[in-house]
Amino acid sequence: MTSDPNLMTPGEPLDPARDAAAVLLVPGPPLLISHRGLVDFDPWAVPQPRGIAAWGLAGLAETLEVVALALIMFLSVRVVAHNYIVDGGSMAPTFQTSELVIVNRLSYREVDLSWLPGGGKIRLFGHPQPGDVVVFIYQEEPRKRDFIKRVIAVAGQTVEVHDGHVYLDDRPLDEPYISAQPNYAMPKTLVPEGSVFVLGDNRSNSFDSHLFGVIEESRLIGRAELRYWPLDRFWRVDHHLGLPIS
């Protein structure tokens, strides 16, 4: 992880770099308020200086407690969410370059309960659905790159592109969120089990499944939930998929 997180949404040229960083939550120490009571208060008493030795174990214990609490909170946030900077125009107009997005890492995570009688692997929030805006690992080598795209089709569904429309299960989609109709054609593709088909909302300027094929669900990092910067575009992410044209 670097201190300068970047989430690449490829456009032209189709070779973006990836550098994503997790949300960093650094909590401050708790504010402790002491109440001695008026009975013990002596306004003329001269406070006795406390040496380093007197601070010693008590001060060290308090410092370690604060550090441990900060570490626990930091690790907890890393498990749940990551934040990314969008770099590129392949998801325009939904996302613009330099916008900041929170991604829920638990969205598609499997939990192993095989240690329980009759237990197995379960998904807390289910599988990805058409319309979900997801972040996924495009490649591991020569360096990691994460992409952000919209899920168009899931396992068992077919998708094709022609005549300026995306067809899901042989029905054209009406998609008000895209920048323009796609200027390419793609033959019908059946999404296999455990995979999803993704496209960028900037259909004609996106490196996505119409070029590299479906992606496995195991490569999904999570679902984009909130755009928190810039403030005038602060809002939850819309996971709507255009309805088929009747």
Worst-scoring range by mean pLDDT, 15-19, 78-82, 162-166, 168-172?
15-19
Per-residue pLDDT averaged across 227-246, rounded? Answer: 86
Worst-scoring range by mean pLDDT, 54-58, 145-149, 173-177?
54-58
pLDDT tens digits for 90-139?
Answer: 999 999 999 999 999 888 887 766 777 776 677 677 889 999 999 999 87
Residue ranges of domains in the chain: 7-26+78-236
User: In the chain, pLDDT over 90 holds for what percent of residues?
Assistant: 48
CA–CA distance, 63 with 55 (Å, rounded to integer): 11
Q: Exactly one of 34, 76, 149, 209 is catalytic; which is it?
A: 149
Per-residue pLDDT averaged across 164-192, rounded? Answer: 95
Per-residue pLDDT averaged across 223-230, rounded? Answer: 93
HSE (CB half, 13 Å, CA atoms) of 189? 26
pTM strictly above 0.85: no
The residue among 112, 238, 245 whose CA lies nearest residue 171 is: 245
For the chain, the first-to-last Cα distance in angstroms comes to 47
User: Nearest 5 degrees, angle CA 175-CA 214-CA 246?
Assistant: 30
Contact assessment for residue 172 and residue 165, using Cβ atoms and an 8 Å cutoff: yes
- CATH placement of domain 7-26+78-236: 2.10.109.10
Q: Is 90 known to be catalytic?
A: yes
pLDDT band at 31 (very low <50, low <70, confident <90, very high): very low
